[in-house]
Copies of this chain bind each other. A is one copy, B any other.
Amino acid sequence: MNEQVTAVSLAVSTVIFALRDDDDNGRSSLRIPLVRRIREPFAGRWALPGGPIEAAESLGEAAGRNLLETTGLEPTYLEQLYAFGDVERSAGERVVSIVYWALVRPAEADRATVGDNVRWFPADELPELAFDHNEIVAYALWRLRTKLEYSRIAHAFIGETFTIAELRGVHEAILQRELDPANFRRQIESSKAIIDTGERVTGARHRPPKLYRYDSSVSLTENGPLSRP
């Protein structure tokens, strides 16, 4: 092991997923915020929010700072995704980008900086992005959809308490397909991931649906020894 200095430079980028209401069909869809590049290479193209790493900050701190500076977002969930370092990915320069991903609730997403140079895009319908960022988003989407099956990842998109139908809506938006309501209820109830709060939705309905919460004893992430409190 020789941790020698090398000429390759380093950056961080973040893929941020949020569920936003769709204008046309009344359902939610998965969206990501992109930043328009104002200089070369790829001036004018949309790109993932990101930037350089300062000497005095960890990788996660660098990801969080760059995200805040470019979009105003401060997600509570920020996890390392993958380091992208193909030789040809950065138009002549040699840049390795350590990519984080973040999941934000709609209320957090609404706090994002609005302006000509930040815009939310449907995660499945992106223009041609700068660098290899289309490939990065495709990988992040795949990871999100894979993780949904065996973890509590949907939690990051909804409130503390929720109905089974709301939770199904989150899964449908991420997976981009409809799920059978009875099957979904059976699966999620048998998974022991959620807990009946004993409360019900308030309102005038005859049989208001039950409210559930996630079992907080189970960590949202699965970083094991790397998990932070």
A interface residues (Cβ-Cβ under 8 A, vs B): 1-11, 13, 35, 37, 39, 47-59, 70, 80, 82-83, 85-87, 90, 93-98, 130-131, 133, 135, 138-139, 142-143, 146, 150, 222-226
The answer to whether A1 and B53 touch across the interface, beta carbons within 8 angstroms, is no
Cβ-defined contact, A53 with B85, below 8 A: yes
| Interchain residue pairs A-B with the least CB separation, the first 7 | A1-B47, A142-B224, A59-B85, A4-B52, A3-B11, A6-B52, A5-B9
Tell whether, in the assembled complex, residue A10 and residue B96 are in contact, meaning their CB atoms are under 8 Å apart: yes
A97 to B1, CA, bound (A): 11
Does A8 lie within 8 Å of B6, measured CB to CB? no
A225: contacting residue among B54, B57, B58, B139, CB under 8 A: B139
Shortest A19–chain B CB gap in Å is: 21
Evaluate whether A86 and B98 lie within 8 angstroms (CB atoms) in the complex, with A9-B6, A131-B1 already known: no
Q: 12 additional contacts, CB 8 Å, given A3-B51, A58-B87, A139-B225? A: A1-B37, A1-B47, A2-B11, A2-B37, A3-B93, A3-B97, A6-B53, A6-B54, A56-B87, A59-B83, A80-B82, A138-B225
A81 to B13, CA, bound (A): 18
Question: How far is B8's CA from A55's CA once the two chains are assembled, in angstroms?
Answer: 6
Q: Which of B1, B48, B146 touches A35 (beta carbons < 8 Å)? A: B1
Chain B residues whose C-beta falls within 8 Å of the C-beta of A86 in the assembled complex: 58
Q: How far is the CA of A127 from the CA of B18 in the complex (A)?
A: 44
Closest B residue to A6 by CB, please name it.
B52
